Structure 1
């Protein structure tokens, strides 16, 4: 009976030992599996961190490029608007100058028409026929500080045609108190020069001044003086 009890105790002890060892093996395997899963999760987390860093760098680069592109577009738009304003101002100025020249030319045409109408075979107009003027008056018309002036023609006189009984009044150009008319073309050239003054002798105003004012003063009948 004692042997049987001892055998039963040994078998029970052996069963408990095997159960304990099996439990330890299960725990070790479970721990190993958990460690592997933890390591795998850590590796995945590191990969995701690296991917997030890469995406953040790409985002920062794109934001910087977008800011630079926006600034460049604004600068280009501002430049285009400025150039457009400059061109518009230049075009308006040219239009104003052209309109002034047109007005001057129209006034000259009207003046020439008036001179033609006031010139008749019996009373030729001396403005249209310089050969009829005296040598003293043919040398040049009177001048003022701002431009040339002409002796008043018969613009304001009445025109009487052959066979006409009633005189036909012709409008005259504005004249000063002494009966002289301003050269509107020269005055327009002077105004254009005054807006952009320069000493360039090729400009219209200075070229006329040299040709009509300076050069005649330097022309002498004596060749020795001219030399």
Structure 2
């Protein structure tokens, strides 16, 4: 069960979303104003935020940008009534993990929510009582490395040298997948399906996440050496 904040000034949409989230076992609250959302998030952080683009006071894109500065690990799913691809991509550029275009299926939204939550679920605690069980080391810690870049998928920590990097849920998922499959080229459709479990959607989503990821893990994002473009196909991670 997760605590989810829904920020949407359309009360009908908000009521439907909350209803489906509660059926799925989550708790949720609703705000209809961008500034109210920022004020509330300054005091308490939910497990996930569902954020509409068109909001009074402060629009959703600006709210997302501000939150990425103060709450870099907060999963954000944006809702937009704007059908143009550039408008949808704007949310991803601001740091959203996912987006849905209105009108949308509430069931699909719940699936997207649970997809994000599964990826940020912390490892299970050790067994509190009973006989000790020896846990394979791989189940406790798996470190993925590429040059001075180190990723721990269980703790969801990424470091480059002595500096810890801040990645969104989707960016970290993408980096882990590529590190586990070095040298292999993947097209955008494969990455959407194999990394995030999406069987449909705008392939430009992958392009945006790759660009944002390069800005964080590449020494020179304009001339990437780690996550390389395979022209006519997609992307490939090359180990140093």
TM superposition score category, shorter chain reference: under 0.3
> Could you tell me the TM-score, scaled by structure 1's length?
0.22
TM-score norm. by structure 2 comes to 0.22
Greater helix fraction, Structure 1 or Structure 2: 1
Q: Please identify which structure carries the higher strand content.
A: 2
Higher relative contact order (CA 8 A, sep 6+): 2
Structure label with greater radius of gyration: 1
